Structure formats: structure tokens, C-alpha cells
Amino acid sequence: MMARNHSRSLISVADGLRELFSLAATAGSGGGAARRTPSQMPNAVDVLRRSHRLRPLETLPWLVAAAAFFLLPDYLALGAQILLAVLFALSLDLILGYAGIVSLGHAAFFGVGAYAAGLLAVHGWGEPLSGLVVAGIAAGLIGMLSGAVILRTRGLTLLMLTLMIAAMLQEAANKAGAITGGTDGLQGMQVSPVFGLFRFDVFGHTAYVYCLTVLFLGWLAARRIVHSPFGRGLIGIRESEERMRAIGSPVFRRRLVIYAISAALAGIAGGLMAQTTQFVALDALGFERSGTVLIMLILGGVGRLYGAFIGAPLYMILQDRFAQQDPVYWYFWIGLLLVLVVVFARGGVLGIGERLVRRRSRRS
């Protein structure tokens, strides 16, 4: 008797929930409109296809960069360094923002790429494009080999291992002073003109266009990855590894692949630095560079693909201004700004913009 009453109560609850959802669907469709059939529901393929479409707002960074080439001709050398910093931050965003892999040693791959391109130029191979390819391959291989070990760990252990990989590579570069230049840095590079036509000049005209072109190609690759099924899988891994394993997703393999891709992009950014400055110092592998790129990404917004485009220029401009006002303690003001962003502006500058747009849409 009790079992019969219990089953009846469950049936009545189910009927009530079904009626509630039916009313909600009817109200959301305009009151008396019929509910949508499964064929009218949005298709996953259509959603992915729409996400691949270039939105007008996505052209804004490139329009600003093109305008800067003509409006700020005296700052093109600095602009080239900002552009390669954007590419470096973009590579970190792939693992931190989309795969949830926190790293304090991302400069390891930046430095490997810088030394790979620099050593080629020192030993007579100054062709820049092939130098970037070698830089990306070298950094990607280091990323795959190190990732095969450290990505089996989690949390604080993973964080410290990324830091130790960079510290080991930096010390190895210091010990191999006969090859890398040690504390004096790698000098004496002879970088050939791009395509044999465009020579790197003191004013940074070629360097700016060269870095902008490479950044654009890197952004296209990153955007395609993020909006692909592989990228959606990475977001799922970031949110819950257990659930992704439960549905049969190869979690470790996907994390390793994106880690190697991120390392290759960071190595290309390092190669750009070596070719445009024709100098590589040990700090290319240092913890300070890893921390700096992390700050850039936090300021702009993690996991939004475009946070690097805001965070890197903002950090480098603020660094220049703070250093002029307070040459000794300028890092204090950077740290204070970072604390304020983390506490009051979660999601960085892009996060603030998203919240403002959301509020405006609710009012309208």
C-alpha cells in the first residue's frame, strides 16, 4: 500500500514538472505560440559554424595596429615589442584560459625559441621565416617532452614543475656560455631581409609589419583551435576532467597537444624578439618574463582570446609611465593595479566590458 502511494506521488510530481516546463516554454515563445520541435532547435554544427564567422568587432585590434603604423612612426620599434608580447600572452591563454593549465615557467619556451632563432642567425643562417619555423619546432618539442611528464601532475606540483623547467633551461643556457653567450647574451646576429627585400631598419618599420603579420597568422590559428570541437573539448576539460573522462574524451592527450601548440607559439614570439632586437639575454628564460606575461593576461582577461590584445599593450604602456614617475619602485604600482583588478574587476578589462554590455542589454 505504501509503495503504491509512493509511486502515485512520484507520477504526480513528474506530471507537475512536465506542465511547468510546458508553461515556461509557451511563455517564452510569446504566450500562445507552439513549442519548438526538435528540428527547430539549434544544431551543434550550426552553432560551431556561427562561432567561426568573423565578427566586425574582431577587426578592431587590427585596425588600431594598422593606424598606429601611420600615426605613431616614432614608436614602431616599441610597437614591434608590444606585438610579439601579445603573441606570447596569446600562447599562454591557450593553456591557462582554455585548458586550465597554470604555468609559472612559460618563458622556457619563449627563451628556447629566441635562442634557436638567434643561434641560426649567428652561425650564418639569417633567413627570418625559416628561423621562426625552427624556433617554433624547437619550443614545441621541448613543450611536448616536458608536458609528457609534468601534465601527469596537478595543482601546486604542476605549478612548481613548470617553474623548475624554466629555471633548469636558464641555468643550462648560462653554463653553455661558449654557445649562448652566457651572462653577456647572444650577440653578433646577422638577420637577412624578409623575402630578400625588406631589411630590418633602426626605426622599426620592417620589424613592426613583420611582427604584425606573424601575430595575425598566430591569432588565426588560435582562433580556429578555440572555436573547433577540439577547443570545446578543452573547455570541458577545464571545467571538469572527471566528466570528460566519463564520456571517453582523451584528456591527457588533448592537454599535451595544446601544451605543445602553446609552446610553439611562445617559441615563435621568442624568435621574433631575437630577430628584431638581434640580441638574446638569459632573462628570456627567466621567471620575471613568465610572471610578466601572466600579469598581462590577467589585466586583459583570461580565457577570452582577446585579453592578450588589451593586457600586453596596457602593461607595457603603464610600465613606461610608472617607470618615468617612480624609477625605483614602479613595480609596486603594477602590483597594486593587479590586486585591484583581481579583487574588483574579475575577468580583467574585457570582463568589465562584458558586464557593462550585459547590464545595458538587460535595461533595454
pLDDT of residue 9: 42
231 vs 303: CA distance, rounded Å: 11
DSSP SS3 for 60 = helix
CB atoms near residue 115 (< 10 Å): 29
Q: Are 273 and 81 in contact (CB under 8 A)?
A: yes
CATH T-level assignment (fold) for domain 67-363: ABC transporter involved in vitamin B12 uptake, BtuC (1.10.3470)
Prediction pTM value = 0.85
**CA distances in angstroms from 295 to 35, 118, 219, 341, listed in the order given:** 48, 27, 20, 10
Mean pLDDT, contiguous 10-residue spans, the chain (364 residues): 42 41 39 46 56 79 94 93 97 95 96 96 93 97 96 93 96 94 91 92 92 97 94 93 92 96 98 95 94 93 91 91 87 88 84 82 77
Phi and psi at residue 280, to the nearest 5°: -130, 125
The pLDDT value given to residue 47: 56
153 vs 163: CA distance, rounded Å: 14
The helix or strand, by DSSP H or E, that contains position 338, with its residue range, turns out to be helix 330-344
Measure the CA–CA gap between 90 and 92, rounded to whole angstroms: 5
Separation between Cα atoms, residue 97 and residue 241, nearest integer Å:
15
Which amino acid is located at 150 in the chain?
Answer: I
